[in-house]
A and B are shown apart, each in its own frame.
Chain A
């Protein structure tokens, strides 16, 4: 009995030493080595693809943000966000584009609350952009998985052109060209879906409107 207890104790100590050594290899050396290489070769990407405009950091090209009007009452937490008609609008977000609270609605595809949310979003997007509901694309009325999806579909960008041009004093052709320039196809031609980066598009829009 005593020998089996001391055997078990010896085995557990050996296991602990093994775990500590492997922690050094995989938990310290490995991430530090990868970080070193990543910071040396891909400094901007490794640090979050931060986008600067006019020398100031304004976001990350991989993290979506909201494009709402300033709150009427900054102290009112329940005040509904109002999208700013001047900007291209992103997809609905489960967390108002807070990067510290990523994740989706988790509602099932036939859930009545999701049906209502889609119905409301469809009506709002159609009205806001002055298009019939039948032209509103699926990504405009569904929440993304991450809640910080930086992209919209080219179709969703297209139905916003008319409104954005009007609000910024630009012609539709100018804005349509901007959208075309900022539409990325599938990666390598066949991976994923075509998409438009909202932050980059809006920054280009701001430059165009200023000039």
Chain B
């Protein structure tokens, strides 16, 4: 079995909200008074979980709560979650920028963290001097940097500027040089936070390649990102975090699909969506239904004739001549697959009754079995009335009869099947 190189046990981190200043001294004294009497820290008990959207009663929050996981040698481990889920706090604790409130992290081997590239670059120093300084900050000695200097400069592509002060560099060049140093660190464990979000496409590709290379040499990588495509292509296992806790730990593809389903609100039903009235426009979305045209059942399969039915409110109550446009973008794992839109046919419509129904007929549903999300946009007279990301979940079920011979997996064949007739 593989060797565990990082072991995190019951790790928690507490932060104090609001201003640090007034009352700090009072809390410190109270804490100290509890401590000398041998009592527990009074502020470690009363805390809310970290949900930024809800206002809590306590001044203290848990940015991380009882996190435990293990990472084995040579794994590329992904950490994903929404903003404020505690990913960055976890990375800070792992890279010893700040200490935990409770719990323990055990690490085997040299660990290097990249929460930012080009940390401590001094604007007045030349590129070369900064390479040495940055290398030293990340724990390399001068001899090591000297050995790799040519390689680093080469990788960064900044040869011409290497003896120019960094303040004259473009921001892209600074990042390139920073990453070049980082890429040549060669620690046993590398912790990376979304640094790939910068630089041009060519350089990003280079970085991903370098990281794969690092992982390929038996070294361990912890990777935090919002970019699901790069997480999926790099990592093999990972955790999903929500409000300071780990909700899932699994193979990376599982984790990514969990993450994507997070964006859909919990009370959503399959193949239909209802919308709360906005009370802002005379015409608004009411509901969308997707069903099999033949038997009116919401269970739809690949190749079925399908009806998409869209109900609108007409709060005017009277006949109104308006141009209504509706666009539904069907996505799989955040990537658009296909689109249904009135804009393709340039249709004008007039709304007459209290509720108005628009229907779209799809004669042959060309989507492989799986889960899709639908982005909805409604425009009246060219103006956006409503746009809802992930308004509904579209589930295409497996058809036992027509797909009997192969496993129709989306990751293998792509989500889209076009109407096809074979002469055999």
Does A associate with B in a complex? no
Q: Give the interface of A toward B (CB within 8 A).
A: none
